């Protein structure tokens, strides 16, 4: 009986000492001085700091690319940088765009030239570091409106243009919209404003160019000779499509052209499609842009499967790459 009372007494002493030490320790922890005190003690600023950290992470994370392993946010939308390129002999906007892994309409939009198909040697061409289009802010526009209209993340627009205050975007300001798709109506407007009289589509999709317009070494004679078109080499049997709306004025075999289709367009333009393996239209047929008219072949005076494509104005051959941009 005595032992149990003595054990209870020691247990009480231990509990009291523990309480005293706990109170003392609490006082030491919270004795940082009156200048640090506030209604929530030291816990409140810690909570605010953690909240701000999580908010910052959320702000810089893009829905389209939030993977750290892939290079972090905004990998697909770097800050806009524009270099200046001086045109050389034989250059055109299409070839300059290809060299810089851009599309033609990006250069057409950012340069705003009145005669885009007539570059002079030494002419300065603005070349951005990414694909996109210029958009001029209209009265009443907000960044949200522009992002929804163009189908591009608002965060990318802010990042690319380094916008400090999104609420103060003034009418008349030019914004670069990264990765925006070019609509048919807008592409037509760009071409008209740039002095390009007609819009021709590529007659072969996803094809390399094996020979360009102008003087070259003739593959048969080895002598210098004029090449009146551009050769596309997508492979034997690939689809050949009409570059522009028009009426077929010839469909058959024609000497060195081999199997040839000629389409007459408006404003004195016509196109020729040579060396085809098959012809899928007849003379007098009206064709729309993009309509299949034949298959790539190796007929006529040809050294291998390809499409010989010509653009003519009033019968005179023009450089197709000054008109073909898609």
pLDDT tens per residue across span 85-118: 999 987 888 789 888 999 888 999 999 888 887 7
Greater pLDDT, 180 or 192: 180
What is the SS3 assignment for 70? coil
Domain CATH for 222: 2.70.70.10
Domain limits at 104? 82-193
Q: Strands, DSSP E only, in 97-229?
A: 124-128, 132-136, 174-178, 208-211, 214-217, 224-227
What does residue 180 show for φ and ψ, rounded to 5 degrees? -75, 140
Pair (101, 183) in one structural domain: yes
Pair (162, 233) in one structural domain: no
User: How high is the pLDDT of residue 260?
Assistant: 97
Q: Is residue 4 part of a domain?
A: no
Evaluate if residue 189 carries a pLDDT over 50.
yes
Pair (220, 311) in one structural domain: yes
Q: Is residue 168 part of a domain?
A: yes
Pair (111, 187) in one structural domain: yes
> What percentage of the chain exceeds 70 in pLDDT?
74
CB 131 within 8 A of CB 93: no
Q: Is residue 260 part of a domain?
A: yes
Query: From the CB of residue 317, how many other CB atoms can be counted at a distance below 10 Å?
Result: 16
pLDDT tens per residue across span 117-163: 778 899 999 999 999 999 999 999 999 999 999 999 999 999 999 99
- Taking the C-alpha atoms of residue 254 and residue 261, their distance in angstroms, rounded to an integer, is 9
Mean pLDDT in the chain?
A: 78
How many structural domains compose the chain?
A: 2
The 10 Å CB-count burial string (b at 16+, else e) for 159-192 is bbbebeeeeebeeeeebbbbbbebeeeebeebbe
User: How high is the pLDDT of residue 263?
Assistant: 97
CA angle 117, 119, 124 (to 5 degrees): 130
Q: How confident is the model at residue 75 (pLDDT cuts 50, 70, 90)?
A: very low
Q: Is residue 217 part of a domain?
A: yes
Q: How confident is the model at residue 201 (pLDDT cuts 50, 70, 90)?
A: confident
- Taking the C-alpha atoms of residue 57 and residue 65, their distance in angstroms, rounded to an integer, is 13
Pair (90, 177) in one structural domain: yes
Pair (187, 269) in one structural domain: no
Q: Average the pLDDT over 178-196 and give the result.
A: 78
Q: Which among 90, 87, 84, 83 is positioned nearest to 122, based on CA atoms?
A: 87
The 10 Å CB-count burial string (b at 16+, else e) for 208-241 is ebbbebeeeeeeeeeeeeebbbbbbbbeeebbbb
Q: Which among 116, 226, 135 is positioned nearest to 179, based on CA atoms?
A: 135
**Residue 276, both tokens:** 């085809």
What is the SS3 assignment for 98? helix
Residue reference for tokens 């593959």 = 219
pTM: 0.46
Q: Is residue 35 part of a domain?
A: no
Greater pLDDT, 74 or 213: 213
β-strand pairing of 246-253 with 278-279: unpaired
- Taking the C-alpha atoms of residue 91 and residue 94, their distance in angstroms, rounded to an integer, is 8
Query: From the CB of residue 290, how many other CB atoms can be counted at a distance below 10 Å?
Result: 16
Pair (152, 221) in one structural domain: no
Evaluate if residue 295 carries a pLDDT over 50.
yes
pLDDT tens per residue across span 245-281: 899 999 999 999 999 999 998 778 899 999 999 999 9
DSSP summary character for residue 122: T
Q: Is residue 13 part of a domain?
A: no
Pair (149, 114) in one structural domain: yes
Evaluate if residue 204 carries a pLDDT over 70.
yes
Domain CATH for 138: 3.10.350.10
Q: Average the pLDDT over 14-40 and give the result.
A: 48
Q: Is residue 225 part of a domain?
A: yes
Pair (175, 225) in one structural domain: no
> What percentage of the chain exceeds 90 in pLDDT?
46
Evaluate if residue 284 carries a pLDDT over 90.
yes
């Amino acid at each position: 009986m005595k032992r149990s009372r003595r054990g209870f007494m020691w247990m009480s002493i231990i509990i009291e000492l523990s309480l005293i030490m706990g109170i003392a320790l609490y006082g030491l922890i919270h004795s940082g001085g009156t200048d640090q005190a506030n209604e929530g003690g030291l816990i409140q600023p810690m909570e605010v700091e953690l909240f701000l950290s999580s908010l910052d992470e959320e702000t810089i994370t893009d829905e389209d690319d939030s993977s750290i392993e892939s290079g972090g946010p905004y990998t697909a939308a770097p800050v806009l940088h524009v270099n200046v390129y001086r045109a050389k002999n034989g250059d055109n906007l299409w070839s300059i765009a290809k060299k810089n892994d851009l599309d033609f309409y990006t250069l057409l939009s950012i340069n705003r030239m009145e005669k885009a198909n007539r570059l002079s040697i030494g002419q300065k061409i603005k070349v951005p570091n990414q694909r996109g289009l210029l958009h001029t802010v209209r009265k009443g526009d907000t960044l949200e409106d522009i992002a929804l209209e163009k189908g591009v993340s608002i965060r990318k627009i802010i990042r690319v243009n380094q916008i400090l205050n999104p609420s103060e975007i003034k009418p008349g300001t030019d914004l670069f919209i990264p990765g925006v798709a070019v609509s048919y109506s807008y592409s037509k407007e760009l071409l008209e404003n740039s002095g390009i009289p007609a819009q021709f589509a590529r007659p072969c999709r996803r094809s390399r160019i094996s020979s360009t317009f102008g003087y070259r070494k003739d593959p048969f004679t080895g002598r210098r000779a004029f090449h009146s078109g551009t050769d596309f080499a997508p492979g034997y049997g690939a689809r050949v499509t009409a570059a522009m709306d028009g009426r077929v004025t010839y469909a058959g075999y024609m000497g060195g052209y081999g199997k040839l289709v000629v389409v007459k367009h408006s404003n004195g333009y016509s196109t020729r499609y040579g060396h085809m393996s098959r012809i899928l239209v007849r003379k007098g047929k009206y064709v729309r842009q993009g309509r299949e008219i034949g298959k790539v072949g190796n007929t006529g005076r040809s050294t291998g499967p390809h499409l010989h494509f010509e653009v003519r104005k009033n019968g005179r051959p023009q450089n197709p790459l000054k008109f073909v941009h898609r």
